[in-house]
Amino acid sequence: MSLNIDSKNSKLKFEVIVAYRRIILIPISLNPVDLSGFRVVVLGGTNGIGLESAKILTQWNASVILTARSEHNGKAAVKYITSSLSEYCVGKVRYAIVELTSFKSVRKFAASFDGMAIKILINNAGMITLDSVATEDGIESMYQVNFLSHYLLTSLLIPALERGTPSRIVHTSSLMHWIGSINRERYSKEKKNRNNSMGVGVYNDVKLMQVVYSKTLNAKLSGVTSNSVHPGFVQSSLDRNLPPLIAEAALWVRSRVARTTEEGAATGIIVATDPELVGVGGLYFSDHCINSLCGYKQGGAYSRVLDAADSEWLLSTAQVLTDTAQDTAEFKIEGFQTMYSVIKSGDGDEVKPGSMVTVHATGIVQQTKTKFWSTRDAGQQVSYCLY
Asked if 42 and 153 touch (Cβ cutoff 8 Å), the reply is no
Residue 166: cis peptide before it, omega within 30 degrees of 0? yes
Asked if 157 and 121 touch (Cβ cutoff 8 Å), the reply is yes
Asked if 125 and 145 touch (Cβ cutoff 8 Å), the reply is yes
Q: How far is CA 175 from CA 64, 165, 208, 239, in A?
A: 27, 29, 9, 17
Asked if 36 and 57 touch (Cβ cutoff 8 Å), the reply is no
Of the candidates 325, 272, 315, the one whose C-alpha atom is nearest the C-alpha of residue 147 is 315
Active-site annotation holder among 187, 203, 302, 384: 203
Residue 216: in which H helix or E strand, if any?
helix 200-220
Say whether 313 sits in a helix, a strand or coil: helix
**Residue partners of 364: CB distance under 8 A and separation at least 6:** 375, 376
Rama region for 181: left / alpha / beta (φ>0; ψ in -120 to 50; rest): beta
Residue 95: in which H helix or E strand, if any?
strand 92-97
Q: How far apart are CA 81 and CA 161, in angstroms?
A: 24
Asked if 214 and 170 touch (Cβ cutoff 8 Å), the reply is no
Q: How far apart are CA 117 and CA 138, in angstroms?
A: 32
DSSP lists the bridge partners of residue 41 as 65, 121
Of the candidates 22, 46, 56, 24, the one whose C-alpha atom is nearest the C-alpha of residue 286 is 24
Is 296 a known active-site residue? no
**Catalytic residue numbers?**
203
